[in-house]
A and B are shown apart, each in its own frame.
Chain A
């Protein structure tokens, strides 16, 4: 029915060299020729290049991701949609996902981070869920590196600038500084939305002849090859020249899209809907058609353009933000358009669904692309890249300890930007809009209520790249355990995982090995906790000039409260309460901030007993349910003493008197393996012993009304003084360096 597509006058001739310049290997170009049975047009070459890029095709990771457990009694809908969904009770479904925006954020931190937030929010409301909470995980280079402060303020400004303006609260996050990220920061953005069960929206096209409708901002030249190609290669000296490929965000347009799309979905006339994200119009149209096993035809002359003269290649590859593509029931176009008009948005018919399985684009009466849909989606290349452990561990054993006095070590840790308060960052985010935030940033996990329900949600995002550097498998297992513990410390039962797997260049065998071991760790831990992995994202090529980041699997976990009144906070509440710690194994310095500051000798990670980890989680949940606890806090960066201080830093100005710790650096400052600090009335301790058995419930001291931290005869310090160090850790470094 259609003529053979041809390149337009003036477009470059397509050959293997041009394909290579587009990032396609010789084998991949040969595959393109085979799939088409001819030489592609220039437009088609661009389309193959983005759709077969690592970012869009997951060609190096897909094979391994299949090993993850993705099903469970709460999981709603199948894989392949824009985000995963979990049933949380009372007729509600939580839709959530985390995604990287690393490369754009390094090139242009404000817009890179802003559009990362915008993109993940669109992935959520495109499912029919109202976005209710955002989180982020940020990794920067050393604070004394010349670019770090610029990147930090840009990224934080961008996250706030977008998130605050779009009305989705940023409720939790993590920030870490390490020289391994000097040349490649990480910006992972998470969003969660709520939908009524049965009202989830699909991204699967159906109905031959149904119109394809374009909504949102006009298409411009910004972002061509942005997310897709920028994120599919290493950085080099030329990367700064790629700044124009970073998209520019318009959160106001996004806010209108959220409201208009959610309202338009209520008409029931929308068959399928997808965000134009990476590879814009090309990916959204081909993926919706691909999921439905159908074809799609686009009329590029109808695409609204920001400026005249865009070529078909540019229109199809633009990554301009805040655009959505809809498939609507034929005959109901006006009904849908009326909703968008109310919000001063225009809904334009730009194509239709066909039955021939082709992805076809027309421009000025001429077919400029005609490709089997499958070649762009299910039949994209798939690699099983070689993987091999490195000759030497990524981080050699740390230097022998210099063993400072505990008092000095504690002060140094509190003043470290990795341990100290991140308030300088999170006070720039609106954490309370929508009136659901019961616990915002700064605790173990954020806690959200669900209006009109007794249920609630807890959210956390965690990573432990230093542990992953020592052992990519155990480090990932430990990260999943930590996330589960953070939720359980609020009293919420862990229910589901989304992940963002950040690694270096997968064409190197040791990176591929790190990745594979990470996925195996995620799999084993998820299975042990019976948690489905409902969505995820892989970010490769995080390296500059051949130097890769630390392996950084970021785990975001969602937990459920059946009764929100049972939630716990990290702060001590009552003087006289017993301070209790529960550990799953002997403490160790491996991968700790103490080791980073002072060295700690042997730095191997101890094996993790997942049965004991699970026992700890179940114990916390049971103790919360029986209301035996007055507070609970997971020990993380800085170790036990820092954790105790954080528990003292509440509104009540309480202190802690410890007489049950041995005072060794490992015990006071070791970060692994799992330790929780709880406070409870003395008459509850026996019940706790019963609940947590066989784990040891160790009473190490008492909560005091004097704001002092007393550790046996080791030291006696003013909490207020220590708090100042902790609160000023980041501001002080940002002013002086």
Chain B
């Protein structure tokens, strides 16, 4: 499977995504410069974490205007798989490829820690290698991860199964304390209506090497995408 990881100015976890795909998962992955307009025949695009253009205005607000984003919108429109992680999620929301928006954490502070998320819909290309209700340990690190959307939109998303992950306690239960950033309905990750564009705040690329770093649960998401592309 061929992957493309987009490097915007200010991308930070681009090399980490490339490392996870190439070195840990043995995938054919390449870096795509944000000024490029062709995607090189990849099957899945990853928009990585970071602070594109410094994110001084609003996370992802400028990156969405990068030349490559036009190609990515077209790619998504044609049914291509797109995964936005953290800043990538923010960019996809800004580009209206995903519903909702990500705002400042409830605490107003940046948070870096291991969290637990629950799979809400296991029948999507991003989650097919997981079970519904399965709890995954994956780290977060962001200052603007509070997911918001209009109540009517949230209801529609829930009905269609677009809410993929929620922040939960390690036992799988919802609680105020387990929601690190104050996201509405504790949402940690979503899909578009066609289920080919995905965004999540936790960093699966930082949970691919087991005990060595942040656990191995991130692998399940990458394995899902690999299965889906077959």
A, B: real partners = yes
A residues with CB within 8 A of B: 157, 160-161, 164-167, 250-253, 255-256, 343-344, 426-435, 437-438, 449, 451
Q: How many residues on chain B are close to A (CB under 8 Å)?
A: 31
Contact of B110 with A428 in the complex, beta carbons under 8 Å: yes
| Most chain A CB within a 10 A radius of its CB, from B50, B53, B54, B112 | B112
Closest residue on chain A to residue B208 by CB atoms: A435
Contact of B54 with A250 in the complex, beta carbons under 8 Å: yes
5 extra A-B contacts, CB within 8 A, seeds A429-B112, A430-B110, A435-B213: A252-B55, A432-B213, A434-B15, A435-B19, A435-B20
Closest residue on chain B to residue A437 by CB atoms: B213
Contact of B139 with A427 in the complex, beta carbons under 8 Å: no
Contact of A164 with B141 in the complex, beta carbons under 8 Å: yes
Contact of A344 with B9 in the complex, beta carbons under 8 Å: yes
Contact of A255 with B213 in the complex, beta carbons under 8 Å: no
Q: Closest CB-CB distance, B218 to chain A, in whole Å?
A: 11
Given contact pairs A165-B54, A429-B112, A433-B16, A252 touches B10 in the complex (Cβ within 8 A) = yes
Cross-chain pairs A/B with CB under 8 angstroms, 14 sampled: A165-B51, A165-B54, A252-B56, A253-B54, A255-B10, A256-B10, A427-B113, A428-B109, A432-B141, A434-B15, A435-B15, A435-B16, A435-B209, A438-B213
9 tightest A-B CB contacts, nearest first: A252-B54, A167-B12, A165-B51, A435-B16, A430-B141, A160-B110, A428-B110, A430-B112, A428-B109
Contact of A438 with B9 in the complex, beta carbons under 8 Å: no
Please, which residues of chain A bring their CB within 8 A of the CB of B143? 164
| B177 interface contact, C-beta 8 A | no
> What is the bound-complex CA distance between A613 and B117, given in angstroms?
46
> What is the bound-complex CA distance between A567 and B15, given in angstroms?
25
> What is the bound-complex CA distance between A437 and B53, given in angstroms?
25
Contact of A451 with B19 in the complex, beta carbons under 8 Å: yes
Please, which residues of chain B bring their CB within 8 A of the CB of A165? 10, 12, 51, 54-55
Please, which residues of chain B bring their CB within 8 A of the CB of A431? 112, 141
Q: Closest CB-CB distance, A257 to chain B, in whole Å?
A: 11
> What is the bound-complex CA distance between A160 and B111, given in angstroms?
10
> What is the bound-complex CA distance between A343 and B34, given in angstroms?
11
Q: Closest CB-CB distance, A430 to chain B, in whole Å?
A: 5
Please, which residues of chain B bring their CB within 8 A of the CB of A426? 112
In-complex Cβ contact of A343 among B9, B54, B111, B214 (8 A): B9
Would you list which residues of chain B between 18 and 68 have a CB under 8 Å from chain A? 19-20, 23, 49-51, 53-56
> What is the bound-complex CA distance between A432 and B206, given in angstroms?
8
Q: Closest CB-CB distance, A269 to chain B, in whole Å?
A: 22
Given contact pairs A256-B9, A428-B112, A449-B212, A435 touches B53 in the complex (Cβ within 8 A) = no
Contact of A251 with B51 in the complex, beta carbons under 8 Å: yes
Please, which residues of chain A bring their CB within 8 A of the CB of B10? 165, 252, 255-256
> What is the bound-complex CA distance between A431 and B111, given in angstroms?
10
Closest residue on chain B to residue A452 by CB atoms: B23
Contact of A164 with B53 in the complex, beta carbons under 8 Å: no
Q: Closest CB-CB distance, A194 to chain B, in whole Å?
A: 13
B residues with CB within 8 A of A: 9-10, 12-13, 15-16, 19-20, 23, 49-51, 53-56, 109-113, 139, 141, 143, 203, 205-206, 209, 212-214
Q: Closest CB-CB distance, B131 to chain A, in whole Å?
A: 23
> What is the bound-complex CA distance between A157 and B49, given in angstroms?
20
Q: Closest CB-CB distance, B125 to chain A, in whole Å?
A: 24
Closest residue on chain A to residue B141 by CB atoms: A430
Contact of B141 with A434 in the complex, beta carbons under 8 Å: no
Please, which residues of chain B bring their CB within 8 A of the CB of A166? 12
Please, which residues of chain A bring their CB within 8 A of the CB of B212? 438, 449
Q: Closest CB-CB distance, A4 to chain B, in whole Å?
A: 45
> What is the bound-complex CA distance between A166 and B51, given in angstroms?
8
Contact of B50 with A167 in the complex, beta carbons under 8 Å: yes
> What is the bound-complex CA distance between A252 and B9, given in angstroms?
8
> What is the bound-complex CA distance between A250 and B54, given in angstroms?
8
Contact of B112 with A432 in the complex, beta carbons under 8 Å: yes
> What is the bound-complex CA distance between A344 and B10, given in angstroms?
12
> What is the bound-complex CA distance between A435 and B15, given in angstroms?
9
Closest residue on chain A to residue B209 by CB atoms: A435
Contact of B19 with A433 in the complex, beta carbons under 8 Å: no
> What is the bound-complex CA distance between A365 and B213, given in angstroms?
59
> What is the bound-complex CA distance between A250 and B10, given in angstroms?
12
Closest residue on chain A to residue B108 by CB atoms: A157
In-complex Cβ contact of B206 among A157, A255, A344, A435 (8 A): A435
Please, which residues of chain A bring their CB within 8 A of the CB of B110? 160-161, 164, 428-430
Closest residue on chain B to residue A433 by CB atoms: B12
Please, which residues of chain B bring their CB within 8 A of the CB of A430? 12, 110, 112, 141
> What is the bound-complex CA distance between A431 and B203, given in angstroms?
13
> What is the bound-complex CA distance between A451 and B206, given in angstroms?
14
Please, which residues of chain A bring their CB within 8 A of the CB of B205? 435
Please, which residues of chain B bring their CB within 8 A of the CB of A428? 109-112
Closest residue on chain B to residue A344 by CB atoms: B9
Please, which residues of chain A bring their CB within 8 A of the CB of B213? 432, 435, 437-438
> What is the bound-complex CA distance between A431 and B214, given in angstroms?
11
Contact of B16 with A434 in the complex, beta carbons under 8 Å: yes
Contact of B9 with A427 in the complex, beta carbons under 8 Å: no
In-complex Cβ contact of B53 among A160, A252, A432, A449 (8 A): A252
Please, which residues of chain A bring their CB within 8 A of the CB of B203? 432
> What is the bound-complex CA distance between A449 and B213, given in angstroms?
10
Please, which residues of chain B bring their CB within 8 A of the CB of A435? 15-16, 19-20, 205-206, 209, 213
In-complex Cβ contact of B111 among A250, A427, A434, A437 (8 A): A427
> What is the bound-complex CA distance between A343 and B7, given in angstroms?
11
Closest residue on chain B to residue A564 by CB atoms: B212
Please, which residues of chain A bring their CB within 8 A of the CB of B50? 167
In-complex Cβ contact of A251 among B20, B54, B111, B206 (8 A): B54
Please, which residues of chain B bring their CB within 8 A of the CB of A160? 109-110
Q: Closest CB-CB distance, B31 to chain A, in whole Å?
A: 12
Q: Closest CB-CB distance, A720 to chain B, in whole Å?
A: 15
Please, which residues of chain A bring their CB within 8 A of the CB of B53? 252
Please, which residues of chain A bring their CB within 8 A of the CB of B55? 165, 252
> What is the bound-complex CA distance between A22 and B139, given in angstroms?
51
Please, which residues of chain B bring their CB within 8 A of the CB of A438? 212-213
> What is the bound-complex CA distance between A429 and B109, given in angstroms?
10
Please, which residues of chain B bring their CB within 8 A of the CB of A437? 213
Please, which residues of chain A bring their CB within 8 A of the CB of B141? 164, 430-433
Contact of B139 with A432 in the complex, beta carbons under 8 Å: yes
> What is the bound-complex CA distance between A449 and B212, given in angstroms?
9
> What is the bound-complex CA distance between A451 and B212, given in angstroms?
12
Closest residue on chain B to residue A168 by CB atoms: B12
Please, which residues of chain B bring their CB within 8 A of the CB of A432? 112, 139, 141, 203, 206, 213-214
Q: Closest CB-CB distance, B203 to chain A, in whole Å?
A: 8
Closest residue on chain B to residue A565 by CB atoms: B212
Closest residue on chain A to residue B35 by CB atoms: A342
Q: Closest CB-CB distance, B32 to chain A, in whole Å?
A: 14
Given contact pairs A429-B112, A434-B16, A255 touches B214 in the complex (Cβ within 8 A) = no
| Most chain B CB within a 10 A radius of its CB, from A157, A166, A343, A430 | A430
Please, which residues of chain A bring their CB within 8 A of the CB of B206? 432, 435
> What is the bound-complex CA distance between A161 and B206, given in angstroms?
21
Q: Closest CB-CB distance, B114 to chain A, in whole Å?
A: 9
Q: Closest CB-CB distance, B143 to chain A, in whole Å?
A: 7
Q: Closest CB-CB distance, A68 to chain B, in whole Å?
A: 36
Closest residue on chain B to residue A164 by CB atoms: B110
Closest residue on chain B to residue A343 by CB atoms: B9
> What is the bound-complex CA distance between A435 and B13, given in angstroms?
9
> What is the bound-complex CA distance between A451 and B16, given in angstroms?
11
> What is the bound-complex CA distance between A426 and B9, given in angstroms?
26
Please, which residues of chain B bring their CB within 8 A of the CB of A253? 54
> What is the bound-complex CA distance between A164 and B142, given in angstroms?
9
Contact of A427 with B112 in the complex, beta carbons under 8 Å: yes
Please, which residues of chain B bring their CB within 8 A of the CB of A433? 12-13, 16, 49, 141
Q: Closest CB-CB distance, A456 to chain B, in whole Å?
A: 11
Q: Closest CB-CB distance, A197 to chain B, in whole Å?
A: 22
Q: Closest CB-CB distance, B195 to chain A, in whole Å?
A: 29
> What is the bound-complex CA distance between A431 and B205, given in angstroms?
14
Q: Closest CB-CB distance, A384 to chain B, in whole Å?
A: 46
Please, which residues of chain B bring their CB within 8 A of the CB of A343? 9
